[in-house]
Copies of this chain bind each other. A is one copy, B any other.
Amino acid sequence: MTERSATRGMAHASSTDGTLARTAATDRVSDDARSVPEATVARLALYLRVLTTLVEAKTATVSSEELAAAAGVGSAKLRKDLSFLGSNGTRGVGYDVSRLASRIEHALGLNHRHRVALVGAGNLGHALAGYDGFAERGFTVTALFDNDHARVGERVGELVVRHLDELDRVCVELDISIGVVATPAAAAQSVCDRLVASGVRCILNFAPIVLQVPDTVDVRKVDLAVEMQVLSFHVARRAAKQVRTTQNGTVVVP
């Protein structure tokens, strides 16, 4: 029932009344990925991006201090994060850039490509379909759907817009693992339901509503208005402090 907001992160799902979450989230999966805290997972993706630029710059090794600065986190936090991968730096030297990069890739499940279905071919859909960052990280946008018959058949990059009615069939045929909802709010829940019915178990939601899904499905949400409102809060807080500051005559450290 629950949806995981983009600004937080929690284990699997929780039922409506709040009872019983995380089926077995904390037990370790034997193979290789130890139980990695949610907060750490999000940062691993960040480190990976920095590492990729280092690989391109032919940098061979990097210290936790350097990598942390480039990623905008503290070095202790970075080391702790990496330690969950049972990671392998060299004391006195640092981390082997490409080795660490592939370790993280593996931990995040990026060692094989993911097929992505994108629903909603409006402005946002176009932007997402053309977003290089997806392809670079192993995500292939394989299908693009829209409700609007006028848009069906339109070419967007390498894709052709299909009608929503094909969604169920195409998702199964193409073995889609991730669905992206970029529709208006009104359509989002029904699109989501169809994705779930087609076997899609991971959804990235851009629509400004909270999607209701069964416990077996993971939803992440990107909410632009929420991001802006958090900024607004900080503007307001800053303004309030300004006022108090001038009243006191004290100056806040610049």
* Residues of A participating in the B interface, judged by any CB pair closer than 8 Å: 1-3, 5-9, 14, 16, 18, 23-24, 29-31, 33, 36, 39, 41-46, 48-50, 68-76, 107-110, 114, 116, 122-124, 126-128, 130-131, 133-134, 136-139, 177-178, 201-204, 208-210, 212, 216, 218, 220, 222-241, 243-244, 252-254
Would B9 and A230 count as touching, CB distance under 8 A?
yes
A44 / chain B contacts, CB cutoff of 8 Å: 229, 233
Would B2 and A231 count as touching, CB distance under 8 A?
no
Closest partner residue, chain B, to A1 (CB atom): B72
- Complex Cα spacing A148 to B90, Å: 46
Would A41 and B233 count as touching, CB distance under 8 A?
yes
Would A231 and B74 count as touching, CB distance under 8 A?
no
A36 / chain B contacts, CB cutoff of 8 Å: 233
| A220, chain B: closest CB distance, angstroms | 5
Closest partner residue, chain B, to A130 (CB atom): B123
A31 / chain B contacts, CB cutoff of 8 Å: 240, 243-244
A208 / chain B contacts, CB cutoff of 8 Å: 49, 133
A126 / chain B contacts, CB cutoff of 8 Å: 123, 126-127
Residue in contact with A123 in the complex, picked from B127, B209, B210, B226, CB distance below 8 Å: B127
- List of 9 A-B pairs having minimum Cβ-Cβ separation, nearest first: A109-B236, A18-B74, A123-B127, A45-B229, A7-B42, A133-B225, A45-B226, A3-B72, A124-B127
